[in-house]
A and B are shown apart, each in its own frame.
Chain A
């Protein structure tokens, strides 16, 4: 099949690996969409057509998924995408304030991409880490208890590109026990 989307070899081989895992090709749709979206940032109409052809479907079978699922996109988010949890347990610990702080500091309204494309912000529904809210996910890392002053500091570090090296904010993922020595 022609590589009209200019996908990398790695993505193409991952797609080839994932499709045969399912008894029916259509089942692989979400996983293929994730792979394409990870590389291109979004699944636009040409991408829908390509995925549909790869899975022997019609483009609407893919388009209807992109328009339904909250985490699928037809336009890319910014280079760094920030998700803040909006749902009740996080709200009860100040997530509306956290979202406002991030809007102000990052210079972008929730649901939007900053004009220069550097940051985007999303106020989204439950991220399933309610005990340590407000929860913020930056790209794929989950940060807990981001409220008040801590949200200000968090946003400053994120703006300076120093969040990952900070000792104050360790993500849930980085906090997991690594291989014991």
Chain B
């Protein structure tokens, strides 16, 4: 693929992230015009800020892709209870490593975005829930908050106004389920992070301490700053309608140049990303499968065709390489862009082992609250592990599918789907690999193939 023809990265969120002359201290942030947008926001009415976010069409960057402005609209302002803002910095979806770059390299951008969001929703207090594996990340944020407080950008009487909002860094302790917003809230309340059932526990109505709460992802909150900077309408011109702004794609697995790349939504296809931006596959390999949105997203098979009609009426007939990288493209192909974690697998991968690896993750991370998920994820791990230890049976594909189908739609939170979708899609698209595993019997692993379980 000709590199010259590739669209260029457009770094808005990561503008300064890898600049060798830019550290995570406030001096660098201020040098580049930091906190000017906070001043601009404070000159507006809070509801005007919310209107701009709504107009921008920005969709949540954590995984579900729900419009952030709409989420804010659902906030129960009539209850008279205090309002809370929580930044979801758990970054727990396997394949995702974008929020790390923001927090370690440009933490003030997040703080500015959060203080603008807090002002817009009238939050009394704001929290950053950060995964515990980010030891230094939590220290960087703590120091950045102190720096911002000293300058009056955060804490009491922000910018000399009568609006105050304290910002607290809260560390998790290694549980994937804390990325689910109601699980996160339970965790922040000091409990086991068992997700809450919706309805009635929509955080915007009954969130932290049963008070109205907004939970937004790190990247989403950074976008709020840029929306106020350029105006919602201008922001909505970046990317495509219904897919506005940039996205930070995280590419991992078997490509030559894995990494994080920020592009306008829809600026390039999955093929351009893998074979162009990421330098293609390792020498002599061919593409087998791609998981486009973190490990929960349904897998795509390299030689699949995707046909249908887009929302705007255009008909499409895509190969995997033609899928546009935005929200709607992967959705049209029957999967999702999720948190933007693209996991690439080449022809050396044993698909059943990859499945077993994923199943081990979900079995380990199920909170155990709902029986179908707790038991089902465990059985899926056991079955796939047995298959990889020489005990594969021809009926295993159907057995796995039956377990997965009994999890989906029968749990309190979306973890059930997250655990079932990989199995359902792997079986649907790679059934032969599962059947052949049984036919081959107890064979040692192909020497080219990496151990995955």
Q: How far is the CB of A74 from chain B (nearest CB, A)?
A: 13
Q: Which candidate, B246-254, B313-321, B431-439, is the interface stretch facing chain A?
A: B246-254
- Is A92 touching B172 in the complex (CB atoms < 8 A)? no
- Is A69 touching B173 in the complex (CB atoms < 8 A)? yes
Q: CB-CB < 8 A to B349: which residues of A?
A: 92
A91 to B295, CA, bound (A): 13
Q: CB-CB < 8 A to A131: which residues of B?
A: 97, 250-252, 258-260
Q: CB-CB < 8 A to B97: which residues of A?
A: 128-131
- Is A92 touching B343 in the complex (CB atoms < 8 A)? yes
Number of B interface residues, CB 8 Å? Answer: 72
Q: Is A53 among interface residues, defined by CB-CB distance under 8 A?
A: no
Using CB atoms, name the residue of chain B closest to A27: B190
Q: Is A39 among interface residues, defined by CB-CB distance under 8 A?
A: no
Q: Is B306 among interface residues, defined by CB-CB distance under 8 A?
A: no
A55 to B96, CA, bound (A): 35
Q: Which candidate, B46-54, B131-139, B146-154, is the interface stretch facing chain A?
A: B131-139
Q: Is B88 among interface residues, defined by CB-CB distance under 8 A?
A: no
Q: Which candidate, B22-30, B323-331, B378-386, B389-397, is the interface stretch facing chain A?
A: B22-30
Q: Is B365 among interface residues, defined by CB-CB distance under 8 A?
A: yes
Q: How far is the CB of B197 from chain A (nearest CB, A)?
A: 19
Q: CB-CB < 8 A to B187: which residues of A?
A: 30
A99 to B367, CA, bound (A): 26
Q: Is A109 among interface residues, defined by CB-CB distance under 8 A?
A: no
Q: How far is the CB of A168 from chain B (nearest CB, A)?
A: 20
A88 to B28, CA, bound (A): 36
Q: CB-CB < 8 A to A124: which residues of B?
A: 174
- Is A64 touching B192 in the complex (CB atoms < 8 A)? yes
Q: CB-CB < 8 A to B450: which residues of A?
A: 91-94, 96-97
Kindly identify which residue among A61, A91, A179 contacts B25, using a CB–CB cutoff of 8 Å: A179
- CB interface residues, B 255-311, toward A, < 8 Å: 258-260, 291, 295
Q: Is B429 among interface residues, defined by CB-CB distance under 8 A?
A: no
Q: Which candidate, B56-64, B237-245, B354-362, is the interface stretch facing chain A?
A: B354-362
Q: CB-CB < 8 A to A65: which residues of B?
A: 173, 190-192
Q: Is A137 among interface residues, defined by CB-CB distance under 8 A?
A: yes
Using CB atoms, name the residue of chain B closest to A92: B253
- Is B168 touching A22 in the complex (CB atoms < 8 A)? yes
Q: Is B125 among interface residues, defined by CB-CB distance under 8 A?
A: yes
- Is B94 touching A69 in the complex (CB atoms < 8 A)? no
Q: CB-CB < 8 A to B253: which residues of A?
A: 88-89, 92-93
- CB interface residues, B 86-126, toward A, < 8 Å: 91-97, 99-100, 104-105, 125
- Is A31 touching B341 in the complex (CB atoms < 8 A)? no
Q: How far is the CB of A107 from chain B (nearest CB, A)?
A: 21
A31 to B26, CA, bound (A): 26
| Chain A residues packing against B (C-beta within 8 Å) | 21-24, 26-31, 33-34, 55, 57, 61, 64-65, 68-72, 83, 86-89, 91-94, 96-97, 124-133, 137, 140, 172-173, 176-180
Could you list 5 A-B pairs, sorted by A, with CB under 8 Å?
A64-B192, A69-B173, A72-B173, A83-B133, A92-B254
- Sort A-B residue pairs by CB-CB distance and give the 10 closest, nearest first: A69-B173, A71-B174, A29-B190, A89-B252, A26-B190, A130-B252, A140-B135, A70-B174, A96-B451, A131-B258
